[in-house]
Structure 1
Amino acid sequence: MAIYLTKESKVLVQGMTGGEGMKHTRRMLAAGTNIVGGVNPRKAGRTVDFDDRSVPVFGSVADGIRATGADVTVVFVPPAFAKAAVVEAADAGIGLAVVITEGIPVHDSVAFHAHAKAKGTRVIGPNCPGLITPGQSNAGIIPSDITKPGRIGLVSKSGTLTYQLMYELHDIGFSTCVGIGGDPVVGTTHIDCLAAFQDDPDTELIVLIGEIGGDAEEGAAAYVREHVTKPVVGYIAGFTAPEGRTMGHAGAIVSGSSGTAQAKKEALEAAGVSVGNTPTETAKLVLACLERGRAAAHS
């Protein structure tokens, strides 16, 4: 199986006719994603050709849903228009909105997350690479050629580290990889993904990637301790980050003793999570954990 995204998912792309939208729509189609339309009110009624596929452009998300039954949207619109794009999608009844755009003001993110939640729309992001269920569908900018279907579930704040772990564990493969984004406010959390992977019968082990700043990883550790029975392996980015300086993501900032990589690692290890000091060491921990589990199953 998978979480949030399957081969049956019907995907719209808001901002498909822009430069980034065009580039990544082509890549998503090549990965097998069922993209049923783009959204641009100024280009409604046109079609856009991508290699051997013509994709219609709709004037609104609601029009796209009525015409195609779409249940996922990927948002590539500029920061100034992202809030309106997500609100429009939620008002139209979309089930999942994947917000790739970075640089969205925090107050806009707070507003559209609250609106989407009230409408029953799950948001992934913003400022995220999206998610991929290898061999089925890819919604976002994750490279599809660095992994294959498998039984590891991955949830990560960092896009780059998502790709790194996918590459390191290519031979094992993944059920679904979710890049939740590293902004101070995100729609889908580590805990949301942990719960979904725990309930997914085809996910054998969960990889959790966090980074400095905030207390999301400590909350995830508490959730693992109380609710997750599957093995979890973790990695925290930012052990060498200087205090008070934002590193990469807007939410990746240490203030005093709060949000340090060491504190997060200790919280996760106290919950029974094996935590690597580097991505490569983390991948080795995953392999060792899988081997132990399979040996125990055959004993």
Structure 2
Amino acid sequence: MAILVARGTRLLVGGISGRYAQAQVREMLAYGTRIVAGVSPGRGGQTVEGVPVYDTVAETLPHRPEAAVLYVPAPAVRDAAVEALEAGLKVVVIVAEGVPAHDAAYIRAVAEDQGAWVVGPNTAGLISPGQCLAGSIAPAYTAPGPIGVLSRSGTLAFEVARTLTAAGWGQSTLVDIGGDGITGRSVADYLRAFAEDPETKAVVLVGEVGGRKEYEAAEVVPSLGLPVIAYVAGRSAPVGRRMGHAGALIARVEDSADAKREALRRTGCLVADTIWEIPGLLAQALGGGDPAMRHSAGGRT
């Protein structure tokens, strides 16, 4: 099992005619992702890597798309995301960085009204290993298994996945929720989704300085019923400086990595000092790392 995308998910790619989008389409198709259509206004009737291209999302509906990855520039994100959501797609991945905050807030409100998920903005997407890649997460770093991974940073998500896989811990789904200050869903929503997935046995939460997402997580951890291993990057980050992402700014003491680590520890999370400690903490949380709890079929041994 997995969350948000799984084997057979029918994917639409917005902005499919762009050079970067085309490269990602090749990667997703090679992984086995079922891309049923693309949208690029003015390019209707063309194909990209064998995928039919349409001018509007409405024209793609005979293909019954369920999720979308949008490779459109930040100023075009609001219209593209709302078009996909109002057409009934239940997962929309927004890759672009620098989406205006008021546009991101509006998209989030539309998604809530539609009962849909928005991943991002400013995300590398998500992958359910062995099943579906929706974005640019490197499949070679992942393997199927029972560990959910939730990260505010694409780069850290890649490194955590690679570390887990090398240690024998496969993943159910890995999600880069997005690095901007306003993202499509709360961390609490993602954690609840993992808790409801019968195949996910633990979650690795990768946080960073700035914002309140880790505090949102801390509020729900005690009610999840599954272990959460937390790593918060940026312990040496200076106050008042943005660290990479729009959402990674220490404006107050509560925004610091140490404050967030303590809040998560108080709720029962096992907190790693480094990424490389995470596999050991998983083994501790799951009873010594029984091999049966590790890779599912298709993973490394």
Q: TM-score range by the shorter chain?
A: over 0.9
- Aligned counterparts of 2:283 and 2:177: Cα–Cα separation in 1: 24
- Counterpart in the other structure of 1:259: 255
- Counterpart in the other structure of 2:25: 25
- Counterpart in the other structure of 1:117: 112
Asked if residue 128 in structure 1 is aligned to residue 123 in structure 2, the reply is yes
Deviation at 1:127, TM superposition (A): 0.3
Residues 169, 279 of structure 2: 8 Å contact kept: no
Deviation at 1:11, TM superposition (A): 0.2
- Counterpart in the other structure of 1:188: 185
Deviation at 1:256, TM superposition (A): 2.7
Deviation at 1:293, TM superposition (A): 6.8
- Aligned counterparts of 2:233 and 2:121: Cα–Cα separation in 1: 19
Residues 90, 116 of structure 1: 8 Å contact kept: yes
- Aligned counterparts of 1:280 and 1:293: Cα–Cα separation in 2: 15
- Counterpart in the other structure of 2:224: 228
Residues 22, 48 of structure 2: 8 Å contact kept: no
Deviation at 1:140, TM superposition (A): 0.7
Deviation at 1:31, TM superposition (A): 1.1
Deviation at 1:192, TM superposition (A): 1.1
Deviations 1:37-93 (A, max 9, x none): 1101210011122xxxx110011112112x200010001100110111001111111
- Counterpart in the other structure of 2:200: 203
Residues 16, 38 of structure 2: 8 Å contact kept: yes
- Counterpart in the other structure of 2:211: 214
- Counterpart in the other structure of 1:36: 36
Runs of at least 5 residues in structure 2 that lack an aligned partner in the other structure: 294-301
- Aligned counterparts of 1:130 and 1:87: Cα–Cα separation in 2: 18
Deviation at 1:294, TM superposition (A): 4.7
Partner SS, residue 169 of structure 1: helix
Asked if residue 60 in structure 1 is aligned to residue 56 in structure 2, the reply is yes
Q: Which amino acid aligns with 2:121?
A: P
Matched ranges for 1:134-149 at <5 A: 134-149=129-144
Q: Which amino acid aligns with 2:240?
A: G
Deviations 1:121-166 (A, max 9, x none): 2111100111100000010110111111101011111111110110
- Aligned counterparts of 2:205 and 2:227: Cα–Cα separation in 1: 11
Q: RMSD over aligned Cα, in angstroms?
A: 1.5
Deviation at 1:283, TM superposition (A): 3.0
Q: Which amino acid aligns with 2:107?
A: F
- Aligned counterparts of 2:178 and 2:283: Cα–Cα separation in 1: 26
- Aligned counterparts of 1:146 and 1:293: Cα–Cα separation in 2: 20
- Counterpart in the other structure of 2:169: 172
Deviations 1:214-253 (A, max 9, x none): 111112112002x111111010011010100000110100
Q: Which residue of 87, 93, 101 corresponds with 2:96?
A: 101
- Aligned counterparts of 1:206 and 1:121: Cα–Cα separation in 2: 22
Residue identity over aligned pairs, in percent, reads 42
What is the TM-score when the length of structure 2 is the normalising length? 0.93
Q: Which amino acid aligns with 2:82?
A: V
- Aligned counterparts of 2:194 and 2:147: Cα–Cα separation in 1: 9
Q: Which amino acid aligns with 2:109?
A: A
Q: Which amino acid aligns with 2:60?
A: G
Give runs of ≥4 in structure 1 deviating > 3 Å. Answer: 291-295
Partner SS, residue 292 of structure 1: coil
Asked if residue 157 in structure 1 is aligned to residue 152 in structure 2, the reply is yes
- Aligned counterparts of 1:38 and 1:192: Cα–Cα separation in 2: 28
Residues 38, 56 of structure 1: 8 Å contact kept: yes
Partner SS, residue 74 of structure 1: strand
Partner SS, residue 87 of structure 1: helix
- Counterpart in the other structure of 1:47: 47
- Counterpart in the other structure of 1:279: 275
Deviation at 1:276, TM superposition (A): 0.7
Q: Which amino acid aligns with 1:269?
A: R
Deviation at 1:118, TM superposition (A): 1.5
Q: Which amino acid aligns with 1:110?
A: A
How many residues are treated as equivalent by the alignment? 290
Q: Which residue of 73, 77, 84 corresponds with 1:78?
A: 73
